[in-house]
Amino acid sequence: MYMNIELVLASNSIRRREILERTGIDFSLDAADIDENLGIDDPEELVRELSYRKAASVAPKHRGKAVLGADTIVVLGKDILGKPKDEEDAFQMLSKLSGNTHKVYTGVTILKLQDKEPPVPEELRDTFCCMSEVTMYELEPELIRSYIATGEPMDKAGSYGIQDIGAILIKEIRGSYHNVVGLPIGEVWRHLKEFL
Closest CA to 83 of 149, 36, 130: 36
| CA separation for the pair 94, 113 (Å, rounded) | 40
Q: Which of 26, 71, 79, 164 is catalytic?
A: 71
Count of other CB atoms within 10 angstroms of residue 132: 20
79 noted as active-site residue: no
- How many residues belong to the chain? 196
Cβ within 8 Å of residue 103, ≥6 positions away: 43, 74, 75, 76, 131, 132, 133, 134
Residues noted as catalytic: 71
